[in-house]
Chains A and B, each alone.
Chain A
């Protein structure tokens, strides 16, 4: 079983829709949770970064972490065609030198 599960999609939505992206995980030691956006043939770009449970909002993006359910989400409001990319969740235990564990990535297309 993978430590982090993420539906690879593809997910296709109309412009303006609210997008919900999710990951589940099995390792309760994860403390830090991140969402990265990766455009085709580019490196991942850090979108959201949260510690432990709770919500974090940044513009049209909201990240939620529910540690009791081992479930994290990324919501995109008023989605735009420029949001079309692959979204990767990533997690870390947070101890010195600990690595990031990535989900498979969800491919999102926002249609104009």
Chain B
């Protein structure tokens, strides 16, 4: 149980392209999903917290107009990187909090590696 999927697993795109990443909780309902980015040999940096049916809460320094988050259902959240540039190249990971299993445990997706040329 507690499986989180992400799609795509990797994407290579040209500068200026918008990229959409999907995060799904496969066997549980997640009222809250989190989006992180991770640079090589660094820890996870929280970008935003996404609650089903409401607007995402962004961390300081994260541009909400650039990183658009939609959490339309209890099993799906999407992150769209608008007009991506090379500096947006990173490993993006989502996590989901199991609604039934308590508030604290977060289960992570496998990550999406974004490369912007």
Interface residues of A (CB under 8 A from B): 8, 32, 34, 36, 41-46, 49, 88, 92, 94, 96-100, 102-105, 107
Interface size on B, residues (CB 8 A): 25
Task: Kindly supply a per-residue 1/0 record for chain B positions 36-58, scoring 1 wherever the CB is within 8 Å of any chain A CB and 0 otherwise.
Answer: 00000111101001010000000
Complex formed: what's the CA distance from A105 to B41 in Å? 8
B34 CB contacts on chain A under 8 angstroms: 99-100
B108 CB contacts on chain A under 8 angstroms: 36, 43-46
Option from A8, A43, A96, A103 in Cβ contact (under 8 Å) with B103: A96
Interface residues of B (CB under 8 A from A): 2, 4, 6, 32, 34, 41-44, 46, 49, 51, 91, 93, 95, 103-111, 113
* Min C-beta distance of B105 to chain A, whole Å: 6
Instruction: Judge whether A43 and B109 touch: CB under 8 Å.
Output: yes
* Min C-beta distance of B30 to chain A, whole Å: 13
Complex formed: what's the CA distance from A98 to B102 in Å? 12
Complex formed: what's the CA distance from A86 to B60 in Å? 26
